[in-house]
Amino acid sequence: MFDKNVHDGRGSATISVDAFSRSRFHNARRTRFSHDEFRSLFPARHICLRHIHVRSELLQRRTTVYTVLFRVGWQVTAWCSVPSAGIDLPVCQATDEDPSFWLAHDLWGSEPAAGTPYLDHRTNADATHVLCYGHHLMGVGGMFSVLQRCHEQEAFDRTLADGLLWSTPGSGTVRMQPLCASVVDMDDASVQRFDFEGTRAFRSWLDGQLRRSSAKATDATDTARGASRAVTLVTCSSDLAGQRERTVVTFVE
């Protein structure tokens, strides 16, 4: 089941660190930081800002934001960037023990907060199908809010024009093409598919997603036939909290 609270209307801003190139974060030198040291580089007062700007101390260490987060123990597992949508965010990994933890926790594991983009606990950042959740922050924007209307063809074409840059330590940075988008119920089982018996089964699943989508790429059918993996971004479709509809946007490599 999709997490029930992917929508958040409390007005907290997104956390975005844009001082480093996401194309280099996965192979940076690993440097260990203590919890207090990390927080001193990212003061709590910055949470209320639209962007967190990395302080000079971090730059002088010649490391990357991802490396810092990874080494101090937070479950940051990927970096999600959709340039034409203004999305540029670290992504955490949910666990079986607490699959909804990141809905209301920031990168320091503190609450209350607007949450952090995170992967479904049944998948991982390098899986054949990655399912990634992010809040729709009503009123202030940020997080995955801009994806809300991408089930409409005009918004799909405009917002996703540059595709998705998906970065992980294991696979580096991969550019994925937008394939399709739709609105589904929060209990929709088809989107929550993670196990495939080979490439043919995976591409058949993609074809099924295409058939029921309300917005798609012009060459979507051919793109799906050659795809090897997919990342689906999920956010709430409604401006009203507590609704069941979810906008799902699928990118493929």
DSSP string covering 166-226 = EEETTTEEEEEEEEEEEEEETT-TTTS----SSHHHHHHHHHHHHHT-SEE-TTHHHHHHT
- 144 alpha carbon, distance to own chain's centre: 8
Q: Are 118 and 105 in contact (CB under 8 A)?
A: no
Of the chain, the percentage scoring pLDDT greater than 70 comes to: 67
Three-state SS for 29? coil
What backbone phi and psi angles, to 5 degrees, belong to 245? -75, 140
Residue 170: which pLDDT band, with cuts at 50, 70 and 90?
confident
Q: Are 207 and 247 in contact (CB under 8 A)?
A: no
C-alpha gyration radius of the chain:
17
E-strand spans in the chain? 7-8, 76-82, 87-93, 118-119, 129-133, 136-137, 164-168, 172-185, 215-216, 230-236, 245-252
Q: pLDDT tens for residues 24-53?
A: 333 333 344 444 554 454 443 333 222 333
Among 133-137, 188-192, 212-216, the minimum mean pLDDT is found in 133-137
Q: pLDDT tens for residues 44-82?
A: 333 322 233 333 343 334 345 555 555 544 568 888 999
Q: How far apart are CA 250 and CA 253, in angstroms?
A: 10
Q: Which residue has the higher pLDDT, 96 or 30?
A: 96
Q: Is the peptide bond before 178 cis (omega within 30 degrees of 0)?
A: no
CATH numbers and ranges of domains, the chain: 7-252 (2.40.260.10)
Region 115-135: mean pLDDT is: 93
The DSSP call for residue 55 is P
